[in-house]
Structure formats: C-alpha cells, structure tokens
Structure 1
Amino acid sequence: MNDDKRTNSLRLTCPYCGSFARVRTSEYISEALITGLVECTKPACGWRGHFDFTITETTSMC
C-alpha cells in the first residue's frame, strides 16, 4: 500500500489496566520538551497522568 499519510506509531498504554491511553492536552515548553496530560480510554479504569517528552540527543542533522 502506497499511502502518503503518516501516522504516529507511538502507542501509549495505561500503566494500570493496559488499555490504550490518549493524550488529552499537550504544550511545547521548548523545541526539545513537550509536557501534557494523558488518560486511559477505558471508562471503568479512569487513570490520568502527566507526561514529559524530551529529546535528549541529536544524532544527525540535514
């Protein structure tokens, strides 16, 4: 299949029940740091948490 649409392959899972967890809010703090809120998609679980996504090293540049 030749599809030009790109999808994010990162899948977050709930640390309590293992269901899919989705990002509810996110904020770019800097070019290398994103922070936000993530929540479980299983209503019976109800887990929520905060995340930090940090780029820690540049391995190559164009």
Structure 2
Amino acid sequence: MSVVILTIKISHFINHVNKMLGKVNEEDLKSVIDNTKRLTGNLARISDNLDEKEIANLIKSAVAKS
C-alpha cells in the first residue's frame, strides 16, 4: 500500500474517531477510561496467580454476565 493511500486511510479513521468523540459526554469518556485502567490493574494482579486458561475463563464468565 502506498504511503499516500495509507495516510488518507489514517486521516479518515482519525476524522471518524473525532466525530464519535464529539457525540460522547466528557464525563462518560472519563468513566470509560477510569474503568479500563481499573480493569487493566485487576487483570495484572490476578495474572500473577493464574494461568492463561484460567484468565480466559474469567473473562468469558464476566462477558457472559454482562
């Protein structure tokens, strides 16, 4: 893929993301970021004590409940 085409695709993607963010309440976005950080921290802590299969099962279980 040429650099020009890649640049155009990236530009379109950035414009799309900016439009989406314009529709999102700043407070909601902050909440999503905070929850993502918290989840990442929790996964990092439990990953020290679990193997990959156990982590995958926990994630599947959490997704099924939501």
| Interval of TM-score (by shorter of Structure 1 and Structure 2) | under 0.3
Higher helix share: 2
The structure whose RCO (Cα within 8 Å, separation 6+) is larger is: 1
Structure with bigger strand share is 1
